[in-house]
């Protein structure tokens, strides 16, 4: 079905036909064992449009048991055969991209063209790890002629994947694909705000030939479904993406079973613009860094660290552009979509109200908004808070909305110090035309990834993850595979 037909169906009927409702366990959709459901909302219209299974510990037990049962055979499936399944997944995602993108936009509130990009990225992710599956290999050790020593990389076993609401499909893809490539089985728990595309992905995986039980999805709240999953003694690794407090709880639960974790916990990432930068590129980079997905990105460039000489000019240009960005329902392809929930909108608005009360200059936006066509939805204007002091909460805390906070600096050394001046360390952007300076600053900025002269440059090939409170461990690239394999060393005396 075409995108236009699907969008037409939604606006005519208020929902879409054929949306998944149950958990996906052991190769099939099943109702919650407790029979309970909950609703998912269209953030662009602030209304519920579909009910899905509200899972609990009983459902998690069923899913983990299915994954455990499937582990031995999947782990022993020839690596190239695992890769072939993942390649078919990539093909199916591309074949069904229109439906996936419409559902992703509807469930999360993001602009349809961004959801289309996420779907393309998810396909690319399965393609990448399809190619990686048969390149996971061990090592040999030089013990002398009377010995042989070698290692093999085994799958760790059942893995749990706790997915956030800001990039529901692409976060699921980037953590599930390497796990499957390595021979692990999966139980995923999508966010309760955005459960649908992870369920659709599990169905695609099954249709691509993944054996029953290898990838399971349990929906429900973090407390009722996520908590039991990360505390389950049969889970051998947890990949978690979300907030810092929840990440700490997840790590504590996993610790009780000595289960490994990767934590991807967001950030307060700086975009540093030096006076020698190409201002046109900097304007585009800063706008994309904070207003894409309405700022609901762990790696959003939410702080502009700008050299004094270009501060006034840059903020003026950014403010003009921010004010001109078109908000609207995601399916109408706006430049900025909705925030994911009413509670999240309240949180974002609260930060800006707090800044206003403290006398911070609001150079653009600063107010709640609605979809101009319907007058409904959870929106916030693209906002710029200018010349903010380093200790202000809008500098130190993750807002996770379309709010840029500006810090003015003098020179390279202060720029690096200010860039490093929060408890987070996920990514950073640097705009400068001085090659040596770019690399000196990149060396000294404490972040898991540094972009030079193009924010978000990169793709699935590049390892991604944070330092400090942004978490640890890396997703994407070959680095991600390390979470899903364990090294077994073998040594033998032969002479
Ligand atoms: P959250 O951390 O509570 O939720 C993320 C995921 O964890 C969801 O799937 C949720 O159901 C699950 N979860 C919640 N409690 C759990 C528990 N005790 N055990 C296991 N799983 C649990 O995040 P949120 O409340 O949806 O959002 C709050 C803030 O988190 C946001 O404002 C933002 O700052 C941050 N966030 C960051 C990212 C990111 O990409 N790093 C994504 C989403 C949210």
Domain annotation covers residue 92: yes
Establish whether 414 is a catalytic residue: no
- Structure tokens that stand for 294 in this block: 């309405």
Same domain for 481 and 455, yes or no, is no
255 lines ligand 1 (CB under 6 A): no
Domain annotation covers residue 464: no
Same domain for 317 and 385, yes or no, is yes
Report the alpha-carbon distance of residue 453 to residue 365 in Å, rounded. Answer: 26
Report the alpha-carbon distance of residue 270 to residue 156 in Å, rounded. Answer: 36
What separation, in Å, do the N-terminal and C-terminal C-alpha atoms of the chain show?
A: 67
Report the alpha-carbon distance of residue 229 to residue 221 in Å, rounded. Answer: 11
Which CATH number do you get for residue 212? Answer: 3.40.605.10
Domain count, the chain: 2
- Structure tokens that stand for 52 in this block: 């899905």
268 lines ligand 1 (CB under 6 A): no
Same domain for 241 and 344, yes or no, is no
User: Can you give the residue range of the structural domain that contains 237?
Assistant: 3-265+472-488
- Structure tokens that stand for 149 in this block: 């020593």
Q: How many angstroms is it from 119 CA to the middle of ligand 1?
A: 21
Domain annotation covers residue 228: yes
Q: How many angstroms is it from 487 CA to the middle of ligand 1?
A: 31
399 lines ligand 1 (CB under 6 A): no
Atom of ligand 1 nearest to the CA of 163: 9
Same domain for 202 and 250, yes or no, is yes
Domain annotation covers residue 256: yes
Report the alpha-carbon distance of residue 273 to residue 427 in Å, rounded. Answer: 15
pLDDT tens digits, the chain, 495 residues: what are they?
899 999 999 999 999 999 999 999 999 999 999 999 999 999 999 999 999 999 999 999 999 999 999 999 999 999 999 999 999 999 999 999 999 999 999 999 999 999 999 999 999 999 999 999 999 999 999 999 999 999 999 999 999 999 999 999 999 999 999 999 999 999 999 999 999 999 999 999 999 999 999 999 999 999 999 999 999 999 999 999 999 999 999 999 999 999 999 999 989 999 999 999 999 999 999 999 999 999 999 999 999 999 999 999 999 999 999 999 999 999 999 999 999 999 999 999 999 999 999 999 999 999 999 999 999 999 999 999 999 999 999 999 999 999 999 999 999 999 999 999 999 999 999 999 999 999 999 999 999 999 999 999 999 999 999 999 999 999 999 999 999 999 999 999 999
Same domain for 138 and 44, yes or no, is yes
What region does 182 belong to: left with phi over 0, alpha with psi -120 to 50, or beta?
alpha
The pTM for the full model equals 0.97
Domain annotation covers residue 137: yes
Report the alpha-carbon distance of residue 114 to residue 106 in Å, rounded. Answer: 12
298 lines ligand 1 (CB under 6 A): yes
> Shortest CA distance to 448 belongs to which of 417, 431, 430, 471?
471
């Amino acid at each position: 079905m075409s995108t236009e037909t699907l969008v037409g169906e939604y606006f005519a009927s208020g929902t879409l036909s054929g949306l998944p409702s149950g958990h996906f366990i052991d190769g099939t959709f099943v109702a919650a064992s407790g029979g309970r459901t909950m609703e998912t909302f269209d953030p662009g219209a602030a209304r519920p449009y579909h009910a899905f299974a509200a899972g609990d510990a009983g459902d998690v037990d069923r899913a983990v048991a299915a994954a455990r049962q499937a582990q031995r055979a999947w782990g022993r499936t020839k690596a190239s055969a695992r890769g072939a399944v993942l390649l078919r997944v990539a093909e199916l995602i591309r074949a069904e991209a229109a439906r996936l993108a419409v559902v992703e936009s509807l469930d999360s509130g993001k602009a349809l063209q961004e959801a289309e990009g996420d779907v393309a990225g998810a396909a690319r992710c399965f393609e990448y790890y399809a190619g990686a599956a048969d390149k996971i290999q061990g090592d040999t050790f030089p013990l002398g002629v009377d010995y042989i020593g070698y290692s093999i990389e085994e799958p760790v076993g059942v893995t749990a994947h706790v997915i956030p609401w800001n990039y529901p499909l692409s976060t699921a893809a980037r953590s599930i694909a390497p796990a499957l490539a390595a021979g692990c089985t999966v139980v995923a728990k999508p966010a309760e705000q955005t459960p649908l595309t992870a369920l659709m992905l599990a169905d695609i995986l099954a249709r691509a030939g993944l054996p029953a039980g290898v990838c399971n999805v349990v929906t429900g709240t973090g407390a009722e479904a996520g908590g039991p999953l990360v505390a389950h003694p049969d889970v051998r690794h947890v990949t978690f993406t979300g907030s810092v407090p929840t990440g700490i709880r997840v790590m504590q639960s996993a610790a009780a079973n000595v289960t490994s974790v990767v934590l991807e916990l967001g950030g307060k990432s700086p975009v540093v613009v030096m006076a020698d930068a190409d201002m046109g590129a900097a304007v585009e980079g800063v706008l994309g860094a904070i207003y894409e997905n309405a700022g609901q990105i762990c790696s959003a460039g939410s702080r502009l660290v700008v050299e004094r000489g270009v501060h006034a000019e840059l903020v003026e240009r950014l403010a003009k552009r921010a004010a001109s960005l078109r908000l609207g329902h995601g399916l109408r392809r706006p430049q900025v979509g909705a925030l994911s929930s009413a509670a999240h909108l309240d949180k974002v608005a609260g930060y800006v109200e707090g800044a206003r009360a403290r006398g911070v200059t609001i150079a653009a936006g600063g107010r709640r908004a609605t979809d101009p066509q319907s007058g409904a939805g959870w929106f916030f204007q693209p906002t710029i808070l200018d010349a903010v002091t380093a200790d202000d909460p809008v500098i130190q805390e993750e807002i996770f909305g379309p709010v840029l906070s500006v810090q003015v600096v003098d020179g390279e050394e202060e720029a690096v110090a200010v860039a490093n001046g929060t408890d987070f360390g996920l990514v950073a952007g640097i705009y400068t035309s001085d090659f040596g300076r770019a690399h000196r600053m990149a060396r000294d900025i404490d972040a898991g990834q540094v972009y030079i002269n193009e924010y978000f440059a990169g793709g699935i090939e590049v390892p991604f993850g944070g330092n400090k409170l942004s978490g640890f461990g890396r997703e994407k690239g070959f680095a991600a595979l390390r979470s899903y394999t364990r090294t077994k060393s073998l040594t033998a005396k032969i002479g």
